[in-house]
A and B are shown apart, each in its own frame.
Chain A
Amino acid sequence: MDTNAAFEFPAARFPASIENLRVEVRQFLSGERRSGALSRPDSVSMVVSLDFTRKLAAHGWIGMTWSREYGGHEKTALERYAVTEELLAVCAPVRAHWVADRQTAGVLLRFGTKAQKRKYLPKIAAGEWFFTPGLSEPDAGSDLASLRTRATRVDGGWRLSGTKTWNSNSHVAQFTLVLCRTEPAGEDRHQGLTRLIVDLASPGITIRPIINLAGEHDFNELTFEDVFVPDENLVGEAGKGWNQATTELAYERSGPERWMSSFRLLAELTEALGKNASAAACQQLGGVLAQLLTLRQMSMSVAAALEAGRTPNLEAAIVKDLGTCFEQELVRVARELINSEGIDIWDTARRLADVLESAQLWSICYTIRGGSKEIMRGVIARGLGLR
């Protein structure tokens, strides 16, 4: 076997100016904390705050890498990466724009028409328009290509019918970028799939909330009954949507959220351990920190690859697999340390107890959402030439 460059993760070098950007973001965030607009998190849940999203947009921290023509700010992928880390470190309420900024816009920039870019991207960058994913279905999860939502050609557009599930944020978003079948599945099931932008205000759409394990409303089920989608909403070529979906998933999988989603648990735990933590506790804490620092280097390497114009699908799968498993281990280590060090989590603030509870519940989905651990390992195995 030749050494596959994708397994190499060369060290990324970030321009020194990025430190200034980090400071700027931190100052903004601590200002929000002081004003009471943000509070010290008692959960690892990424929630919606339209107010916060608009403030980020005003700072130019949404759509950072896009061209100015489309409302972007022409920053590098490394600058975007740094801002993303800073927001995740405080569990900022970025849910509203996260999907649109992270993945939908990437697809539109690469495959969309000029008119689509002009219409949607400036509104996304302004923190006004949001997207809900539109990929999974009740009978098509890991086996996404078996999806059954279909669109048929009609005069001036398409008629869309089917059900999409596990859609974050549909109750806040105005649009979804659906993957649907427009031609019967032939020899290659990946052919005949098409991406359509669907306005959620269109007649024939039902949105049903699905309350998740953490007791929160994030997911929704979207049902399309003969929904008209105009021609102008076709993204890329009809029947060639699969490649777009995998590109989108690379964006979804590659970011620091794959190892920073539970960062607040680590932060509260570190504080609670105190300076006099036992040697055994420091060893466990060090083990967790070492994994986090390693994942961060891998993630930065992926960001550098994106900046160099590559789509690092395989690297993203590796980071997602390792990162999400790490986050589940973090919950286990935190619980053990709380018990072995005799930390009182039922103190008056109860913050550590709340964050731990939330991390326990949410961490279950980390190895499932955005492509399950098993799917990630299948992608990696393909990279090794095994399939």
Chain B
Amino acid sequence: MSETTDMITDAATRLFSEQCTPRVLAEAEQGVFPSTLWSGVEDNGIASMLAAEAHGGIAASPGVALAVMRVAGRHAVPLPLAETMVGRWLLSKAGIGAATGPLALVVLRRPDGWKVEGTGTARVLRGTEPAVAWGKASGGVLVVVRDGAGIGVATVDSQRLKVDSRTNIAGEPRDGLTADGVSVRFSPVSAVSLEAVMHMVSLCRAGLICGALQRTLELSVGYACDRVQFGRPLAKFQAIQQQLAELAGAVASATAIANATANVVEGEHGDLMIAAMRARLAGAIDTGTAVSHQVHGAMGFTREYALHYYTRRLWAWRDEYDSAAEWRERLGRAFAGAPADELWSRLARIGVASGTQ
């Protein structure tokens, strides 16, 4: 297992450090899809890694996915990686062969979004989703919908949708997509809940977040060591050291909860660990972005210096796939009213993975 992790993370590190150049990142924000980078993602087996071997994947564990996504986050990869990985995982669970190309992912759980009408395999998609990650650029939009006791998926070509091109604070595509009665082919997915999809995509995004946080720390430490004021590097000032230590603590806390959650995400209390992880990630992002910008001074407040590729993504990702507040509320609701003498035993069973290292 650890060999697989090393192989695929090494491949990802090579690919992303070579190809996620400042130019590629800047062009992506201008709407240029990085197709060479995407080919590398496909060639290295990253996009399909969660899918079963029969569907072109390696059935990677959540922990391996997290490790690879951390590498991607550290390089600000401008692609719908989490969406495609989780989308192909779902398609594989549905017994459908791997799609090609990047996927957008729409998990229907709001009353005012898309509706999938009808029954059976031929269904009709109607309504508007306001902010679909990489909706237009992806080509394929995978819709996940509750269906009776289970869920189902349908893929729709984005060319059949009305597109309102938008971007988030990080300049990543978040398109408004309108379907006027588009017919889609519906496939049921067994043994996966709508919540499980949200959990898996949250975990992949957590990898991106941890990687980006790590990069803000590296950039901040590097800058503090290089930048000289009052005759010495910023790093030698206690006030700066104390802030960087706080930043390092925030990054460590994010990494720790993500590592732990990856081990238990598919277990009995995976929902509560995901909620805790999402809540903590948002807190770590608040601290991490504030401190890294403060340490960088005016330089961080430019588009010339790379810090913004990470901090703007972090600000965007805090509240995507449900907001941090919603995740906090779920976690709090699960324990509100717990008798004082039961709280510990109920908390202690969450997030404990047994077995040998």
Of B257, B273, B331, the contact of A286 (CB 8 Å cutoff): B331
CB-CB under 8 A from B238, the residues of chain A are 378
For chain A, which range describes its interface: under 10, 10 to 19, 20 to 34, or 35 or more residues?
A: 35 or more
Distance (whole angstroms) from the CB of A328 to the closest CB of chain B: 14
Measured CB to CB, the closest approach of chain B to A51, in angstroms, equals 21
Chain B residues with Cβ below 8 Å from A40 are 340-341
Question: Which residue of chain B has its CB nearest to the CB of A23?
Answer: B345
Q: B351 — which chain A residues lie within 8 A by C-beta?
A: 293, 296-297
Q: Are B347 and A15 in contact (CB under 8 A)?
A: no
A291 with B283: CB separation less than 8 A? yes
Instruction: Kindly report which residue of chain B lies nearest to residue A295, judged by CB atoms.
Output: B253
| B283 / chain A contacts, CB cutoff of 8 Å | 287, 290-291
Q: Which residues in chain B, 225-273, are within 8 Å of chain A measured between CB atoms? A: 225, 235-236, 238, 240-242, 244-246, 248-249, 251-253, 255-257, 259-260, 262-263, 272-273
**Is B298 interfacial (CB-CB < 8 Å)?**
no
Contact B241 A386 (CB under 8 A): yes
B332 touches A284 (CB 8 A): yes
Closest chain B residue, CB of each to CB of A2: B218
CB of B333 within 8 A of CB of A298, answer no
Assess whether B279 is in contact with A286, with CB atoms less than 8 Å apart: yes
- 212-270 of chain A: CB within 8 A of chain B: 263-264, 266-268, 270
Contact among B241, B251, B347 with A293 in the assembled complex (CB-CB below 8 Å): B347
Contact B332 A386 (CB under 8 A): no
Q: Does A31 contact B (CB under 8 A)?
A: no
Docked-complex contact B252 and A289, CB < 8 angstroms: no
Return chain B residues, CB-CB under 8 Å to A321.
245-246, 249
Contact present for B337 and A294 (CB under 8 Å): no
Residues of A within 8 A of B275 (CB): 286, 290
A126 to B238, CA, bound (A): 45
Alpha-carbon distance A13/B262, docked complex (angstroms): 12
Q: Does A1 contact B (CB under 8 A)?
A: yes
In the complex, A26 has a CB within 8 A of chain B: yes
A271 within 8 A of B: yes
Contact B245 A274 (CB under 8 A): no
- A30: shortest Cβ distance to chain B, in Å? 8
User: Which residue of A19, A286, A318 is within 8 Å of B330 (Cβ)?
Assistant: A286
Contact A11 B262 (CB under 8 A): yes
Pick from A16, A301, A380: contact of B256, CB under 8 Å: A301
Residue in B224, B336, B352 whose beta carbon sits within 8 Å of that of A14 in the complex? B352
Q: B280 is contacted by which of A284, A285, A294, A385 (Cβ under 8 Å)?
A: A294
Minimum CB distance partner of A307 in chain B: B357
Contact flags A373-387 to B (C-beta < 8 A → 1, else 0): 010111011011111
Q: Does A188 contact B (CB under 8 A)?
A: no
Whether B257 contacts A277 by the Cβ 8 Å rule is no
CB–CB A381/B328 < 8 A: no
Q: Given that A1-B222, A13-B353, A298-B256 are contacting pairs, would A273 and B248 also be in contact in the complex, using a CB cutoff of 8 Å?
A: no
Quick check: is A8 within 8 A (CB to CB) of the other chain? yes
B302: Cβ under 8 A from any A Cβ? no
Contacting pair B337 A376 (CB below 8 A): no
Contact of B338 among A22, A270, A282, A383 (CB under 8 A): A270
Q: Are B335 and A7 in contact (CB under 8 A)?
A: no
- With A7-B252, A290-B279 known as contacts, the answer to whether A386 contacts B221 (CB < 8 A) is yes
Closest-by-CB residue of A relative to B343 is A267
Q: Interface code A73-87, partner B: CB below 8 Å = 1, 0 otherwise?
A: 000000000000110
Contact of A377 among B242, B344, B347, B354 (CB under 8 A): B242
A385 and B336 within 8 A (CB): no
- Do the beta carbons of B336 and A281 come within 8 Å of each other? yes
| A281-B336, A290-B280, A322-B253 as given contacts; A380 in contact with B347, CB under 8 Å | no
On whether the beta carbons of A285 and B343 are closer than 8 Å, the reply is: no
B329 contacts partner chain A, Cβ-Cβ < 8 Å = yes
Chain A residues within an 8 Å CB radius of B217 = 1, 384
Chain B residues whose C-beta falls within 8 Å of the C-beta of A3 in the assembled complex: 214
Q: Does B120 contact A (CB under 8 A)?
A: no
A67: Cβ under 8 A from any B Cβ: no
Q: Which residue of B lies closest to A265 (CB)?
A: B340
Residue of A26, A268, A283, A290 with most partner-chain B CB within 10 A: A290
B interface residues with partner A (beta carbon < 8 Å): 63, 214, 217-218, 221-222, 224-225, 235-236, 238, 240-242, 244-246, 248-249, 251-253, 255-257, 259-260, 262-263, 272-273, 275-280, 283, 325, 327-333, 335-341, 343-345, 347-348, 350-357
Q: A273-B337, A386-B240 are in contact. List 11 more A-B contacts (CB 8 A).
A: A7-B251, A11-B259, A86-B344, A267-B340, A275-B336, A277-B333, A283-B332, A286-B330, A293-B351, A297-B259, A301-B256
User: Can you spell out 30 A-B residue pairs with CB atoms less than 8 angstroms apart?
Assistant: A7-B252, A10-B259, A14-B352, A16-B354, A18-B354, A90-B344, A268-B340, A279-B329, A281-B336, A282-B328, A282-B331, A283-B329, A283-B332, A286-B327, A287-B332, A290-B283, A291-B283, A292-B347, A293-B272, A294-B253, A296-B347, A296-B351, A297-B256, A298-B256, A321-B246, A322-B253, A377-B245, A381-B245, A384-B248, A387-B236
